[in-house]
Structure 1
Amino acid sequence: MTQHAAAAALVPGRQPELVPDAGMEAARMAAVRRYDILDTPPDGAFDRVAAMAARLFDVPVATVTIVDSDRIWFKAAHGLEGVKEIGRDPGLCGSAILRDDALVIPDTLRDPVAANNPLVAGEMGVRFYAAAPITTSEGHRLGTVNVLDTKPRSISEDDTATLADLAAIVLDEMELRLSALRALRDEQKRREVERAAREQAEKDKTAIAAFASTLQRTLLPPALPVVPGLELACHYHTASVHDVGGDFYDVFPIDASRWAFFLGDVCGKGPEAATVTALTRHTLRVAAQIDPEPVTVLSTLNTTLLTDVTAGSRFCTAVFGLLAPREDGGFSVTVATGGHPPAYHLRPDDSGAVWVKTVRPKGGMLIGAFPQAHFTQTTFSLAPGEGLFLYTDGLTEARTPQGTMLGEDGLTGFLHQRTGPVTATALVEETVTLLASLPDGVGDDAALLALSVPDSDTAPDTGVAATAHTTAAPEHFGQER
C-alpha cells in the first residue's frame, strides 16, 4: 500500500486516490465538450441547485462544477463570490470525478490528498467536503455537486443520497440545455440551408434572366439601319425576363435602292421557340435576297418550317414588306401577311387629323401549319408625312382598365387620336406610354415596328431620318437599349 493510500485509509469511507485512465479521460472530455457548457454565462437553474444544496446541508458554500482537462470550472457557486475556476488539483473535485460514488471528507486536514488543495490550505480553510459526481448514462463523470464547510462534520447515508439526487438534477438540466442547443442549431442550420437555397435561387434567376436577355438580343437586330428618306422606330417588350419570347422584326437592304422589313411571332416561348425564331429570321433574309416578292418569301418560309426538323410542329405569323423609293420622296410598299394582325397605314388630312387604314391582304394563312398555305399581298404608297405601324398580338391582347382586351378596335381608336404629321418615333413612344398606363401591364411579349416618311417640315437637313430602338422588361418600360 502506498503512503497516500495508507493515510487515506484513516478517513472513514475514503478510498485510495485513483489515477485517471488516459482512454477514459479522453472519452470523459469528449462528453464534456459535447454538452458545450464550459465558460457559459450563469444559469438560474444551476444557481438554484447550489443554493438548495447549501440550505439542505446547512453549509456556507455549495457549488456545481465541471471538470476540464486542467481546471475546475464553477457553473454555479453559492457562498463563493468572485471565484470562477481553480486548478485541477487532487483532493476535492478532481478526485471526486474518479469515483463512482460520492466522496465525503469529514475533516480535510486529516486527508493527506485533500490537505494540500488550495481551498483547504488557502485563505478559505475548507475543513469539510462532500461531492457527488454528475454522471451521464454512458458513465462519463462531467463534474460534481459539492458542499463545503469551514469546520469538520459528518453526514448520513441519506444526506449522501440527497447529494447524489442533486447531481442527477444537474444532469437533467444539462440534458435539457443540450436538447435546446441541438434544436437551436438544427433551426439555425435549417435557416442557413434555406438562406443558401434562396441565394442560389436568386443567382439562378439572375443567371436565367441574363441568359434569356442575351438569347433574346441575338434574335433581334442590334440596331435598325438608317434608310435614306425613311424614319424607323421599334420597341420590344419582354413579358418575362426569365423566358425568351418568339416575337421578331428586322429591316435590311435588298439592293442599292430597295429595302425589306418584317415582323412576326412564333408560337410559344422558351429555347424551342427561340430556335424557330432564329430559323425564321434567317430564312426570311435569305429568301428575300433570292426573290424579294413578299408572297414568295412567305411561301419559302412556310416550306422551311414544315420540312426543317429543328422547327418541330411550331408555326408563326408574320408581315413581310418590300420598300422601293418613289420620285416624290415617298415609298412604294408591298406587304404580304401570313396569319398576322393587320398593319396600320396612317396619313394626316388637311385638318390635321390622322386617317387610319388597316393593311391586311385577304387570305394570308398561318406560316408553317399547312403545306398548301395561301398568301396574298397588296401594294400602296407611303407619302411624306405618312407612316406604317406594325405590332405583335401582345399589344392588342393587353387589358384595359375595364378588364377587356385592347383589341384591334381599341388600337384603331388610339391611333385615330393622333394629330399632325406622322413620325415613327412618336408612334412607338406613344404606344409604349399607352402600354405602361394599363393597370395589368402586358401579359405577353409585344414587338412594335414603325416606318414613316418625313415631310418637308420635319425631315433633317441631310434628308436622312433618325432611327430609334428601345426595349423593355415588365418593370422597365421605355428603357433605352
Structure 2
Amino acid sequence: MGRSSHCPGHRPDGEQAVEATDVAFTVLLEDSAEELYEQAPCGYLSTLMDGTIAKINTTLLEWLGLSRQEVVGRMRFSDLLTVGGKLYHETHFAPLLQMNGEVSGVALDIRATDGQRMPVLVTSKVKTSDDGGPMLVRTTVFDARDRRAYETELLRGRREAEEARRQAEVDRERLQEALAVLQQSLLPAELPTVPGLEAGSYYHTASPDLLGGDFYDLFSLGADRWAFFLGDVCGKGPQAAAVTSLVRHTLRAAALHDQDPVTVLTTLNTVLHERYTSGDPRYCTAVFGILHPGGDHVGVHLASGGHPSALIQRADGTAHYLPTPDGMLIGALPQAQFTSARTRLSPGDTLLLYTDGLTEARTGPKRELYGDDALRAFVSEQPAKGPQALVTALAGLLAGFDDGLDDDTALLALGVPAPLPTLASDDLT
C-alpha cells in the first residue's frame, strides 16, 4: 500500500487557505455593527426634522472635539457649522433637503472647539415612515481636508499663473519699448535738409518683438556732396542689430575716405567678412550712392551689392528700374564684385530705394509674391508729387498687405522738387 504524500499532522495548502478564510469570515460575523458605526472613517449623525442631533458617531465627535453629552439633544446640525456654513445651510441646504428629500456632496466647514475650521462634504437623506411622512434626517460627513488642500493648491497655482501672465505682458511691453528705442537708434532720427532735394523715408516693422536688420541713411560729405545708403542685414534679433550698427558706421567712415560707391561697398565687404569669417557668418545687401546737386538737377552715382534695383519715378508718370546686375552679397566672400550705375534726377523725378520685404510680401488668395512688376506698376499709377508723397502711398500699400507682410521694410526716396506752376497775369488781378 502506498504511503500518503503528506506527513502526519500536516494538511495540504488548499485546506489551510480554506480554514483561514473561514476564520476571517467568522471574525466579520462577530464584528459589532455599532462599532462599525462609531469608528467609521467618516462622520455619521441622525437629527430630528428640526435639526436637533439625536445620534452622532465617535469619529465626528473627535473631529469636533466635543462629547456626546454636549451634542445629543442639545445642539442642532447647523450649530456644528461655521458662520458661513450655517448661513448656507439655512438658506440653501435645508430648503433643498425639504424639497428633494436628499442633498449630496455639499461642501461645508464644521467648527471645532479649538476654533479650527475643517472642510467637509455633507450628504443628507430624509428617512420616512411607512405612510411616507418624514421621521428623521441621516447625514454623512466626509473629511475634505485633502480635497480642500488640493483645491487651495490649484487656486494658488492659478493665481501664480495669472500673475506670471500679467508680469509677462508687462515684460513684453517693456521689451517692445526697448526694442523700439534700439531700432530707432539704428536709423536716423530725421533726414537732413539737402538744398535742391526732397527726401522721404519710412520703416515698417513686421514684428514688434524682433529687431529688424533693415537700415538707411542720408548724410553730408561736404563740398556740396551727399551720400545715401539703404540695405538689409540677414537675420533678426540682437545679432542682426549689432551687424546693422557695424554696417552703418563702416559705410559712413568709408564714404569719408573714398567717395566711389564700388570702393565703399568693397570696404564694407572686407570688414564684414573679416569680422564674421568664423562662427556665425553674417552678410547683408545694400545700395550706396553719391548725390551731386547741380543747377536744376541732381546727378546720382550708386553701386549695389546683392540688393534690389532702385526704382525711378519720372515727372511724366513713367517708372523704370535702374539696373545694377551682378552685384554680390556683401560679406559672404573675401572678394566680391559690385555693380555701379549713374542717372540724373530732373525736377519732378524721384529715386526709390526699398528692402525686399516690400516685393516679397504675399498677396491674393494664392499668397503669391508681390514682385518687382507689381511695384513698378503701382509707382507708375501714383502722381509724380515728390518723394514724401510716394513714400506715403507705399506706406498705405504695406499696411494693406496685413499678415502677408512677414519681413521688415525700409523705404528711402530722394527727388528733385517739381517747379511751382507760374501764375498768368490774369490770375494776379
Q: Which consecutive unaligned segments of at least 5 residues does structure 1 have?
A: 1-44, 86-133, 143-165, 460-481
Give the match for residue 107 of structure 1: none
Question: Are residue 348 (structure 1) and residue 311 (structure 2) matched?
Answer: no
Q: Tell me, in whole angstroms, the C-alpha distance in 2 between the residues paired with 1:318 and 1:213.
A: 23
* 1:181–1:60 distance in 2 versus 1, CA, 3 Å: closer
Question: Are residue 434 (structure 1) and residue 397 (structure 2) matched?
Answer: yes
Q: Tell me, in whole angstroms, the C-alpha distance in 2 between the residues paired with 1:334 and 1:370.
A: 24
Question: Are residue 290 (structure 1) and residue 253 (structure 2) matched?
Answer: no
1:247 to 214, 220, 226: 214
Give the match for residue 325 of structure 2: 362
SS in 1 for 2:176: helix
* 1:183–1:439 distance in 2 versus 1, CA, 3 Å: same
Q: Tell me, in whole angstroms, the C-alpha distance in 2 between the residues paired with 1:286 and 1:455.
A: 33
Structure 1 residue 424: deviation in Å?
0.7
SS in 1 for 2:410: strand
2:233/2:284 contact within 8 Å kept: yes
SS in 1 for 2:389: helix
SS in 2 for 1:224: coil
Question: Are residue 321 (structure 1) and residue 289 (structure 2) matched?
Answer: yes
Q: Tell me, in whole angstroms, the C-alpha distance in 2 between the residues paired with 1:274 and 1:178.
A: 56
SS in 1 for 2:347: coil
Question: Are residue 207 (structure 1) and residue 174 (structure 2) matched?
Answer: yes
Give the match for residue 157 of structure 2: 190
Structure 1 residue 215: deviation in Å?
1.7
* 1:361–1:289 distance in 2 versus 1, CA, 3 Å: same
Structure 1 residue 383: deviation in Å?
0.7
Give the match for residue 455 of structure 1: 418
* 1:66–1:286 distance in 2 versus 1, CA, 3 Å: farther
Question: Are residue 275 (structure 1) and residue 242 (structure 2) matched?
Answer: yes
Structure 1 residue 428: deviation in Å?
0.7
2:52/2:77 contact within 8 Å kept: no
Q: What code does the residue aligned with 2:152 have?
A: R
Deviations 1:449-481 (A, max 9, x none): 11121111189xxxxxxxxxxxxxxxxxxxxxx
Deviations 1:419-450 (A, max 9, x none): 3x331111111011111122534110100111
Q: Tell me, in whole angstroms, the C-alpha distance in 2 between the residues paired with 1:359 and 1:336.
A: 11
SS in 2 for 1:245: coil
**Aligned runs of 1:297-336 on 2, under 5 Å?**
297-309=264-276, 312-327=280-295, 329-336=296-303
2:386/2:418 contact within 8 Å kept: no
Give the match for residue 129 of structure 1: none
Q: Tell me, in whole angstroms, the C-alpha distance in 1 between the residues paired with 2:226 and 2:186.
A: 20
Say which is worse superposed, 265-274 or 397-406, in terms of deviation: 397-406
* 1:306–1:71 distance in 2 versus 1, CA, 3 Å: same
Structure 1 residue 222: deviation in Å?
1.1
Q: Tell me, in whole angstroms, the C-alpha distance in 1 between the residues paired with 2:48 and 2:256.
A: 103
TM-score by length of 2: 0.67
Q: What code does the residue aligned with 1:183 have?
A: Y
Structure 1 residue 182: deviation in Å?
1.6
Task: Give the count of matched residue pairs.
Answer: 321
Deviations 1:348-393 (A, max 9, x none): 22xxxx1112112232111111222111211111111110111000
Q: What code does the residue aligned with 2:368 have?
A: T
**Aligned runs of 1:60-79 on 2, under 5 Å?**
62=54
SS in 2 for 1:425: helix
Q: Tell me, in whole angstroms, the C-alpha distance in 1 between the residues paired with 2:52 and 2:406.
A: 80
Q: What code does the residue aligned with 1:379 have?
A: R
Give the match for residue 417 of structure 1: 381
Deviations 1:236-265 (A, max 9, x none): 111111111110000000004111100000
Q: Tell me, in whole angstroms, the C-alpha distance in 1 between the residues paired with 2:293 and 2:331.
A: 32
* 1:81–1:220 distance in 2 versus 1, CA, 3 Å: same
* 1:53–1:373 distance in 2 versus 1, CA, 3 Å: same
CA RMSD of aligned residues (A): 3.5
1:276/1:310 contact within 8 Å kept: no
Q: Tell me, in whole angstroms, the C-alpha distance in 2 between the residues paired with 1:205 and 1:410.
A: 36
Give the match for residue 370 of structure 2: 406
Q: Tell me, in whole angstroms, the C-alpha distance in 2 between the residues paired with 1:199 and 1:448.
A: 36
Deviations 1:87-127 (A, max 9, x none): xxxxxxxxxxxxxxxxxxxxxxxxxxxxxxxxxxxxxxxxx
2:276/2:282 contact within 8 Å kept: no
Q: Tell me, in whole angstroms, the C-alpha distance in 2 between the residues paired with 1:217 and 1:298.
A: 24
SS in 2 for 1:242: coil
Structure 1 residue 399: deviation in Å?
1.3
Q: Which consecutive unaligned segments of at least 5 residues does structure 2 have?
A: 1-41, 81-109, 119-137, 423-429
Q: Tell me, in whole angstroms, the C-alpha distance in 2 between the residues paired with 1:263 and 1:381.
A: 19
2:218/2:226 contact within 8 Å kept: yes
1:319/1:340 contact within 8 Å kept: yes
* 1:383–1:69 distance in 2 versus 1, CA, 3 Å: same
Give the match for residue 383 of structure 1: 346
Q: Tell me, in whole angstroms, the C-alpha distance in 2 between the residues paired with 1:244 and 1:256.
A: 36
* 1:437–1:76 distance in 2 versus 1, CA, 3 Å: farther
Sequence identity (%): 43
Structure 1 residue 174: deviation in Å?
4.4
Structure 1 residue 210: deviation in Å?
2.2
2:355/2:411 contact within 8 Å kept: yes
Give the match for residue 356 of structure 2: 393
Structure 1 residue 69: deviation in Å?
11
TM-score by length of 1: 0.60
Q: What code does the residue aligned with 1:433 have?
A: G
SS in 1 for 2:168: helix
